[in-house]
């Protein structure tokens, strides 16, 4: 839901209803919010006066229609067949998390919130579009977000041509077409304790679908908190919102090169990568996130050591096999596989 968002969001962040204190459209602070501390009262605004919906990359006029559901009619005399049921995937063990939504969908945020920044993920073909309520837009860079801060992280699918190539606007930015999810992170005094060992200060997280239903219910947001732990207290547990709203308001993750894997948004991309024997694979740590990572094989056949932002590591796979690996700094969040044939 991220400091410049479910790391957001996400955040995002960032990283986000059965809400005990639903936020208002103007700020989402609800009755639990507190006035900014004295150190923040005289702070200059971060995001200026530009409304959320007005900033960042352009929006395409192309909105893909819902896929048609084609009825299948069997030929006369053909016995009807019932597809074999797909075995249910095992239920993952959830990290500790709240059981109720105390974040609340931020009604009217497109006009009431301020534009924060845009992050183009050309590698993953997604656009992160981040907005902040007035409280979150009040501190200067380097200051913590006051209680009552709400950060929204929209995840968009970009415009592509018929071959799946990205279509960019005149500035070279991706163009938003379909809104996939709305991640929300909210800071209130006493929030976050239900994440237990994964607590990130006083933040809680939720992910909504565009129709305002849960994409990730409260019980599943432990993963959001765990992801934001990769940040730190000095950044108030945010990823890009600690910097980008104050500076360029735009960043991008370029497409990885041939046989290259990016370390971005607390993940390896792609997570599963297939190469022939003898291939040299290169991992590059994102310079945008400004977070250290490592690349470590489960069987210890390769290890990068600490990769600073922007740094790379290469390894040549001389034999066939499946090689699972992980980031030793963030082993719960970052795991992936190389398949060598």
Range of the domain at 38: 1-61+94-255
Could you tell me which of 64, 61, 249 has the C-alpha nearest to residue 173? 249
Is residue 153 domain-shared with residue 196, that is, in the same domain? yes
Instruction: Considering only residues 147 and 233, tell me which one the structure prediction assigns the higher pLDDT.
Output: 147
Strand order of the β-sheet with 114-121 is 214-216, 203-208, 176-187, 150-158, 126-132, 114-121, 250-253
Is residue 299 domain-shared with residue 172, that is, in the same domain? no
Do residues 259 and 279 touch, judged by C-beta distance below 8 A? Answer: yes
Report the pLDDT averaged over residues 36-42: 28
Could you tell me which of 333, 257, 258 has the C-alpha nearest to residue 289? 333
Is residue 21 domain-shared with residue 140, that is, in the same domain? yes
Q: Which long-range contacts (CB under 8 A, 24 or more apart) does 90-95 make?
A: 94/219, 94/220, 94/222, 95/195, 95/198, 95/222, 95/223, 95/225, 95/226
Give the model confidence (pLDDT) of 57-94 as tens digits: 566 544 343 344 343 333 344 344 444 444 444 445 67
Is residue 241 domain-shared with residue 266, that is, in the same domain? no
Q: Is 274 a domain residue?
A: yes
pLDDT the model gives residue 255: 80
pLDDT the model gives residue 49: 53
Question: In 173-208, which positions are buried (b, 16+ CB within 10 angstroms) versus exposed (e)?
Answer: bbbbbebebbbbbbbbeebbebbeebbbbbbbbbbb
Is residue 244 domain-shared with residue 265, that is, in the same domain? no
pLDDT the model gives residue 43: 33
Q: Is 25 exposed, middle or buried (0-12, 13-18, 19+ CB in 10 A)?
A: middle
Q: Which of 236, 255, 274 is the last residue of a domain?
A: 255
Least confident among 52-61, 172-181, 193-202, 270-279: 52-61
pLDDT the model gives residue 58: 61
Which residues is 325 bridged to in the sheet? 297, 336
Q: Per mean pLDDT, which of 47-51, 231-235, 291-295, 335-339 is the most reliable?
A: 335-339
Instruction: Considering only residues 264 and 136, tell me which one the structure prediction assigns the higher pLDDT.
Output: 136
Is residue 167 domain-shared with residue 25, that is, in the same domain? yes
State the maximum Cα–Cα separation within the chain, in Å, rounded to a whole number. 80
Q: Is 231 a domain residue?
A: yes
Is residue 202 domain-shared with residue 329, that is, in the same domain? no
How far is the C-alpha of 47 from the C-alpha of 52, rounded, in Å?
A: 9
Is residue 175 domain-shared with residue 241, that is, in the same domain? yes
Domain count, the chain: 2
Q: Which of 226, 255, 284 is the last residue of a domain?
A: 255
Average model confidence (pLDDT) across the chain: 78
pLDDT the model gives residue 56: 62
Q: Is 67 a domain residue?
A: no
pLDDT the model gives residue 77: 42
pTM of the predicted structure, to 2 decimals: 0.70
Q: Indicate whether 302 pLDDT > 60.
A: yes
pLDDT the model gives residue 29: 35
CATH code assigned at 329: 2.60.40.420
Q: Indicate whether 5 pLDDT > 60.
A: no
pLDDT tier, 329 (very low <50, low <70, confident <90, very high otherwise): confident
Is residue 239 domain-shared with residue 280, that is, in the same domain? no
Structure tokens at 86: 């797909």
Is residue 275 domain-shared with residue 323, that is, in the same domain? yes
Q: Is 74 a domain residue?
A: no
Q: Is 247 a domain residue?
A: yes
Q: Is 205 a domain residue?
A: yes
Q: Is 82 a domain residue?
A: no
pLDDT the model gives residue 156: 94
Q: Which of 230, 255, 280 is the last residue of a domain?
A: 255
pLDDT tier, 149 (very low <50, low <70, confident <90, very high otherwise): very high
Q: Indicate whether 124 pLDDT > 60.
A: yes
- Kindly state the percentage of the chain with pLDDT values over 70: 74
pLDDT the model gives residue 253: 81
Least confident among 47-51, 165-169, 289-293, 324-328: 47-51
Is residue 10 domain-shared with residue 155, that is, in the same domain? yes
**What one-character-per-residue DSSP string does 149-189 give?**
-EEEEEEEEEPB-TTS-B-B-TTS-B-EEEEEEEEEEEE-T
3-state secondary structure of 218: helix
Structure tokens at 54: 């007005």
> How far are the Cα atoms of 251, 256, 337 from residue 288, in angstroms, in the given order?
7, 14, 24
Is residue 260 domain-shared with residue 239, that is, in the same domain? no
pLDDT the model gives residue 13: 38
**Element containing residue 50 per DSSP (H, E):** none
Structure letter (DSSP) for residue 324: E
pLDDT the model gives residue 21: 33
Q: Is 5 a domain residue?
A: yes
């Amino acid at each position: 839901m991220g400091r410049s968002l479910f790391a957001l969001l996400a955040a995002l962040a960032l990283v986000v209803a059965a809400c005990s204190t639903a936020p208002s459209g103007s700020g989402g602070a609800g009755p639990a919010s507190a006035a900014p501390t004295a150190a923040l009262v005289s702070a200059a605004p971060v995001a200026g006066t530009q409304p959320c919906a007005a900033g960042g990359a352009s929006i395409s006029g192309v909105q893909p229609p819902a896929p048609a559901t084609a009825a299948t009619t069997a030929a006369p005399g053909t016995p009807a067949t019932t597809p074999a049921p797909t075995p249910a995937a095992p239920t993952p063990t959830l990290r500790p998390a709240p059981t109720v939504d105390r974040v609340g969908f931020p009604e009217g945020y497109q006009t009431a919130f301020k534009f924060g920044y845009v992050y183009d993920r050309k590698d993953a073909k997604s656009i992160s579009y981040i907005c902040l309520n007035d409280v979150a837009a009040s501190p200067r860079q380097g200051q913590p977000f006051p209680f009552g801060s709400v950060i929204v992280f929209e995840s968009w699918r970009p415009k592509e041509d018929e071959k799946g190539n990205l279509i960019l606007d005149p500035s070279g930015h991706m163009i938003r077409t379909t809104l996939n999810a709305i991640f929300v992170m909210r800071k209130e005094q006493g929030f976050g304790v239900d994440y237990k060992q994964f607590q990130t200060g006083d933040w809680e997280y939720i992910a909504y679908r565009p129709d305002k239903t849960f994409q990730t219910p409260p019980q599943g947001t432990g993963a959001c908190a765990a992801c934001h732990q990769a940040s730190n207290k000095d950044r108030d547990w945010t990823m890009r919102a600690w910097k980008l709203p104050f500076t360029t308001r735009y960043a991008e993750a370029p497409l990885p090169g041939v046989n290259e894997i990016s370390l971005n948004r607390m993940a390896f991309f792609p997570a599963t990568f297939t190469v022939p024997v003898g291939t040299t694979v290169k991992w590059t740590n994102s310079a945008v996130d400004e977070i250290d990572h490592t690349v470590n094989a489960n069987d210890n056949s390769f290890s990068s050591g600490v990769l600073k932002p922007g740094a790379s590591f290469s390894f040549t796979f001389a034999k066939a096999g499946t090689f699972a690996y992980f980031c030793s700094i963030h082993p719960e969040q970052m795991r992936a596989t190389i398949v060598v044939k």
